[in-house]
Amino acid sequence: MRGLRRWWDDTAGGLPATFWYLWSGLLVNRAGAFALLFLSLYLTSARGASPSLAGLVVGAYGIGGAGGTLLGGVLADRWGRRSTLLAAHLAAAGLMAALAFSRHLAVIAALAALVGVAHSMPGPAFVAAIVDVVPEARRSRAFNLQFWAFNLGMAVASLLAGVLAEASFLALFLVDAGATLTAAVVIALKVPETLDRRAVTPRAVLGRRPGLHTALTDRTFLAFVGLTFLLAVLTMQTSTIMPLAMRADGLRPTAYGLVVALGGALIVAGQLFVPKLIEPYRKSTVLAVSTGLMALGFGTLTVADGLPLYLGAAVVWTVGQMLAAPPNAQINADLAPPELRARYQSVFYLTFPAASFVAPALGGLSLEHLGERHWLVVGGLGLCAAAGHLLAGGPRERRVAALRAAARRPEEVRR
């Protein structure tokens, strides 16, 4: 019993109550965000849309998501984290309910784009609020728990979505709206505003007048975003190119489902043990090792022709993803000036919709022309990213040290 308590203290001890309310809101939000998983099926089976038209509507959701990410970052720094989270959740709940009762495809497409905006807005605000309230020494644990909650919520969402979709598409959308509304209630009742409007980083550190363009022209930060983009491209292989490769190897869809389920199960079962494992090492070293593992895992698919090798490779790249999550999020938070935290988060989050476009678009061409050698290209990208993290580690650490020193000066003046 003492060993279990010591493990829990090492994993989640010392985190403030506000963090746990944010964590709960994120978990409920993700567990309830399942309607969009079946949007294409809903459009083709219940609304008579062609597959190409259904793809355009789902694409509208993705475009809205990219815009919502930037909007959420700007609003979270201007309005505040709590106000942005509440506005986004309430808007998403209302739009999802409207989507449930819409019949015309043009209206559904417009609503899907707006839902994409509302679903993406909370991301930068959630992370900025976590950075606001969690002491620096415990942020790695906090981000690890955030990643775990996200994956646990998505696992629950996948299970619920299948059951509800078979029962009623109307129930699918309405339960999704209800879960989003529940998350809004948790935030409204338990999460205070965390934005410190007194936090100002001297222009000498930023080198320019602060704003969204600061993040878009910050070379140290953009180098990190670029490396994260490569990591996201690797991660997207599992949902875009790998199913095609498995089909070419004569494997059934159930085999693909088993590989994906194994990755999710490993994250849910093992993610809480990661912080203690990586704590003694530099973040750049951990990211280099984790990205290298992902490169090895995907590179192994060059010789994979049966389910056992696919499962073994999935274990390797999933371990890489698990190790990468805490330092990746913490570096992103550390590089952001206090008054621009959410804006920096929004630019960082753009890597994922960008990767979701690049991975299938270029990956499909690569697989078609290179065949199994496509996975050598993917592995090579991963090794380049690993080397990049080692090279960029020093400049990142110097930038973080400068930002921390600048943040301490106003505190000393106020004392």
Do 14-142+168-195 and 214-415 come out as alike in CATH topology? yes
Look up residue 44 and give its two tokens.
Answer: 């083709």
CATH classification for the domain delimited by 14-142+168-195, as one of 1.20.1250.20, 3.50.7.10, 3.90.1750.10, 1.10.8.60: 1.20.1250.20
CATH class of 214-415: mainly alpha
Q: Which is higher by pLDDT, 192 or 257?
A: 192
Which range is most confident: 49-58, 70-79, 134-143?
A: 70-79
Between 33 and 390, name the one with better pLDDT. 390
Look at residue 385 in the predicted model and tell me its pLDDT.
Answer: 94
pLDDT (0 to 100) of residue 319:
94
pLDDT for 85 equals 94
- Give how far Cα 31 sits from Cα of 171, 207, 401, Å: 15, 42, 37
Q: CA angle, corner 251, sides to 298 and 354, nearest 5?
A: 40
The band of 10, judged by pLDDT with boundaries at 50, 70 and 90, is low
Decide: residue 369, CB within 10 A, 0-12 exposed, 13-18 middle, 19+ buried.
exposed
**Following DSSP, what letter does each residue of 338-379 receive, concatenated?**
GGGHHHHHHHHHTHHHHHHHHHHHHHHHHHHHHGGGHHHHHH
- 170-226: per-residue pLDDT in tens? 888 888 899 899 999 999 999 999 987 765 555 544 555 566 788 888 889 999 999
pLDDT greater at residue 386 or residue 272: 386
Q: Give the separation between CA 28 and CA 116, rounded to whole angstroms.
A: 18
Q: List, for residues 318-342, the tens digit of each pLDDT value.
A: 999 999 988 888 888 888 888 888 8
Length of the chain in terms of residues written? 415
User: For all residues of the chain together, what is the average pLDDT?
Assistant: 83
CA–CA separation, 348 and 368 (whole Å): 31
For the chain, the structural domain boundaries read 14-142+168-195, 214-415
User: Could you tell me if 322 and 276 are in contact, meaning their C-beta atoms sit under 8 angstroms apart?
Assistant: no
Res. 413 pLDDT band, cuts 50 70 90:
very low
> Helices 219-240 and 374-414, interaxial angle, to 10°?
140
61 vs 81: CA distance, rounded Å: 23
Query: How distant, in Å, are the alpha carbons of 21, 28, 49, 96, 319 from that of 176?
Result: 20, 10, 22, 7, 31
Name the H helices within 134-252. 139-167, 169-190, 203-206, 212-216, 219-240, 242-248
Residue 69 has pLDDT above 70, yes or no: yes
The pLDDT, as a whole number, for residue 84 is 95
Spell 91-109 as b/e; 16+ CB within 10 A means b: bbbbbbbbbbebeebeebb
Q: How confident is the model at residue 59 (pLDDT cuts 50, 70, 90)?
A: confident
Residue 210 φ then ψ, to 5°:
-70, 145
